[in-house]
Chains A and B, each alone.
Chain A
Amino acid sequence: MDQILQVFFNAAIFERAWPFLARGIGMTVLLSLVIVPIGLASGLAVAMLYHLHHRWLNRLLMAYVDFFRAFPPLVLLLFIYGGLPFLGIDLPLFGTVALAFLLNTSSYYGEIFRAGLESVPAGQAEAARSTGLSRGQTMLWVILPQATRNVLPDLISNTLEVIKLTTLASVIGFTELLNNARNAQALTYNATPVVAAALIYLIMLWPLVRLVSRLEHKSIMVR
């Protein structure tokens, strides 16, 4: 028991590692704040283009979405990280990470929004158009609010996945929480920093998990 405390929950080690961990949390939050909004926006764009029901465009979008859903995000990240220099493109680490994760998340968000848009009955658009709203207005004021509400649990659940995804950036040495925790573990030869990082993720993400759970159960009850 004493040994477990020594190597997993060592206060002295934690104190030394905390500045690293804190900087890592900052980077994790920053990365999430960049990826989630841009991912949501581009996912929405994909879904709205799909909603135009243009035959060839839809095939193209479907191929894009399936292609990036089939790739494990880590593979995408390593491919971009290892491949771009050979194309003569020199992207900073943050850019590489953001690009890889955006390609991945935009296709997931795109699928979710597409399901949302399809869940709104066609009568809604017809009714809105017949009152004199333009197509853009119909989309913005009538379709989108209902579509978003219908897929809200999925959107939030995917956001949770995106935040968890940021840990992969540690593999290419991006200084987010997990990366810093592993470095601190190697320096101190003690597991406390990694265990602390796990607890930090738990504390940060538990509220989101609860929220998803509640929304999902509510949507089952409504049925």
Chain B
Amino acid sequence: MELQRLAFSFFNGEVASRYWLDIVHGMWVTTYLAAAVIATGLGLGLALAMVRSFQFRPVNVLIVIFADAFRALPALVVIIVLFFAFPYVDLAMSAFTATWLALSLVLAAFAEEIFWAGILSVPKGQTEAARSTGMSRLQTLTYVILPQAVRLTIPPLTNRMIAITKGTALGSVVAVHEIIYYASSGASEAGNPTPLTLGALAYLVLFLPVVMASRWIETRFAWKR
């Protein structure tokens, strides 16, 4: 009897059949948003780390302030400031844009620190040798330093990317139509938590492979001592 009630609440076939299409649509939006965030976040982070390696002091101070601020600020706070506070100064943006921008900035801050740490880990002699062969500073960075730096950055970057991808769920707070938005609005509409179960399953389908892959990546690219 208890079990039957449980099944009726959490695994209700009738409710599930009404909402599963919404959830699938949500999965698409989640994936799309995550891909956009990773592309801009990593790109910006790498660009900032490269600029920082040119050691131009005033610029470096700004980069460090940016990286510190967006590592300290909770992502949800950034989303809410962008979405709810900026319209007051006529800078309204869509919920999707606000979430994308906020998560990209947060990822960029972490990525910049990780890339920078990677660049620092390459011995100075490498730069000196490359420069003395006549390479420009940019050439040295792209052809000599970065390829060596990237290896060290892969495990922490993977973790960050997973974390920020899970952050797409925060978009539901400003009504981005991703998985959790459909799951919780469906649950309250149906008066039954089955859509939440579907949503949870959707996240497992998307993320369990990624989490397991990250375990493999961690051992594959582990720093050899």
Give chain A's interface residues, CB within 8 Å of chain B: 3-4, 7-8, 66-67, 69-75, 78-79, 82-83, 86-87, 160-161, 164-165, 167-168, 170-171, 178, 182, 185, 190-191, 194-195, 197-198, 201-202, 205-206, 208-210, 212-213, 216-217, 220, 223
Q: Chain A nearest CB: distance from B182 CB in Å? A: 12
- B1 contacts partner chain A, Cβ-Cβ < 8 Å: no
Q: A190-B88, A191-B88 are in contact. Are A220 and B120 (CB under 8 A)?
A: yes
Give A216's nearest chain B residue, CB to CB. Answer: B117
Give chain B's interface residues, CB within 8 Å of chain A: 6, 9-10, 68-69, 71-78, 80-81, 84-86, 88-89, 113, 117, 120-121, 162-163, 166-170, 172-173, 179-180, 183-184, 187, 192-193, 196-197, 199-200, 203-204, 207-208, 210-212, 215, 223, 225
Say whether A210 contacts B200, CB under 8 Å.
no
Q: Chain A nearest CB: distance from B207 CB in Å? A: 4
Say whether B117 contacts A220, CB under 8 Å.
yes
Cβ-neighbour of A191 out of B85, B168, B193 (below 8 A): B85
Interchain Cβ contacts under 8 Å between A and B, 18 examples: A70-B211, A71-B204, A75-B179, A75-B203, A78-B184, A79-B193, A86-B9, A86-B193, A161-B163, A164-B75, A191-B84, A194-B85, A198-B81, A202-B72, A205-B72, A205-B73, A209-B68, A223-B225
Give A219's nearest chain B residue, CB to CB. Answer: B117
Give A193's nearest chain B residue, CB to CB. Answer: B85
Give B187's nearest chain A residue, CB to CB. Answer: A82
Say whether A74 contacts B172, CB under 8 Å.
yes
**CA A213 – CA B116 in complex, angstroms?**
11
Contacts of A161 in B (CB 8 A): 163
Q: A74-B169, A82-B187 are in contact. Are A87 and B6 (CB under 8 A)?
A: yes
Query: Beyond A69-B211, A72-B203, A216-B117: 8 further Cβ-contacts under 8 Å?
Result: A75-B169, A75-B203, A78-B180, A82-B187, A178-B74, A178-B76, A191-B85, A201-B77
Q: Chain A nearest CB: distance from B112 CB in Å? A: 11
Contacts of B162 in A (CB 8 A): 69
Contacts of A194 in B (CB 8 A): 77, 80-81, 84-85
Contacts of B215 in A (CB 8 A): 66
Q: Chain A nearest CB: distance from B214 CB in Å? A: 9
Majority secondary structure of chain B interface residues (helix, strand, loop or mixed): helix
Q: Chain B nearest CB: distance from A119 CB in Å? A: 9
**CA A82 – CA B191 in complex, angstroms?**
10
Give A74's nearest chain B residue, CB to CB. Answer: B169
Majority secondary structure of chain A interface residues (helix, strand, loop or mixed): helix
Contacts of A182 in B (CB 8 A): 80, 84
Most buried by A among B77, B80, B215: B77
Contacts of A198 in B (CB 8 A): 73, 77-78, 81
**CA A7 – CA B71 in complex, angstroms?**
25
Cβ-neighbour of A206 out of B72, B88, B117 (below 8 A): B72
Say whether A185 contacts B84, CB under 8 Å.
yes
**CA A47 – CA B80 in complex, angstroms?**
36
Cβ-neighbour of A83 out of B69, B180, B196, B225 (below 8 A): B196
The 5 closest A-B pairs by CB, nearest first: A191-B85, A72-B166, A164-B74, A72-B169, A70-B207
Q: Chain A nearest CB: distance from B136 CB in Å? A: 26
Say whether A66 contacts B208, CB under 8 Å.
yes
Say whether A167 contacts B166, CB under 8 Å.
no
Say whether B187 contacts A73, CB under 8 Å.
no
Contacts of B223 in A (CB 8 A): 223
Say whether A70 contacts B88, CB under 8 Å.
no
Contacts of B197 in A (CB 8 A): 79, 83
Q: A66-B212, A205-B72, A210-B68 are in contact. Are A74 and B117 (CB under 8 A)?
A: no
Cβ-neighbour of A195 out of B74, B81, B120 (below 8 A): B81
Say whether A208 contacts B81, CB under 8 Å.
no
Say whether A206 contacts B68, CB under 8 Å.
yes
Q: Chain B nearest CB: distance from A71 CB in Å? A: 6
Give B210's nearest chain A residue, CB to CB. Answer: A70
**CA A71 – CA B72 in complex, angstroms?**
22
**CA A206 – CA B20 in complex, angstroms?**
42
Say whether B173 contacts A202, CB under 8 Å.
no
